[in-house]
Amino acid sequence: MYEKRVMDDKTSISACILAGGMSRRFGEDKALFPFRGKPLIMHVIEILRLIFDDIAIIGGDSDRYSFTGLSRHKDIVPGRGPLGGIYTALSVMRTDRVFVCACDMPYLNGDFISYMISISHTHEAAVPVVHGLYEPLHAVYSAACREKAKSLLDRGEHRIAALFNEVAIRDVTEDEIHRFGNPARIFMNINTRHDAEAEA
């Protein structure tokens, strides 16, 4: 049901993987850490390739990911965390909307991402909500968010929550998420070596 909508919509939406974190808790670049036989980031890429024609990696030292064959972009405003990454994604991609996710989410659900795309047209962002908290690194952002993000960065703001106060958000509810899978699984991040070993 959602596959056809995404296929028809590919020219207006792209995907960006944020890989600019320092991985302090992990101790090394976790995106490159071997996880179930391949670099962690490749699990993310393989799901996104089923949905998107245009995928990019956003990060400080993006040359590390040349082996993926994807386009790579350094943060336009370095050191400003995920908000800076979202601003970069919206600046370098030429589509109306961008699906943004983290590099350490190996259990992305392609059907759920497709569903999010299908409901994102009427708002400036579509963001899942779990236990009352947003999942900003598994969200669809429209080009309308770009200048609002830039304005916040120019004022020294780095919290994504500040952006959410400025844009019209389509909350994706837990009931909607549960149609596709367990939110704890879909949004799971591999933050530490313990996480990686537990999932091996």
Could you tell me the two tokens for 42? Answer: 């490749």
Do the beta carbons of residue 168 and residue 109 sit within 8 Å?
Answer: no
Q: Quote the CA–CA distance of 66 and 73 in Å, as a whole number.
A: 11
Domain 2-199 architecture: Alpha-Beta Complex (3.90)
pLDDT by position in tens, the chain (length 200): 455 445 456 669 999 999 975 555 555 678 888 888 999 999 999 999 999 999 999 986 667 899 999 999 999 998 889 999 999 999 999 999 999 999 999 999 999 999 999 999 999 999 999 999 999 999 999 999 999 999 999 999 999 999 999 999 999 999 999 999 999 999 999 877 767 676 66
Rounded Cα–Cα distance for residues 53 and 167 (Å): 27
- Residue 4: the pLDDT is 44
pLDDT at 190: 86
Tell me which DSSP letter residue 129 carries: E
Domain boundaries, the chain: 2-199
In this predicted structure, what is the pLDDT of residue 60? 66
> Beta strand 125-130 with 133-134: parallel, antiparallel or unpaired?
antiparallel
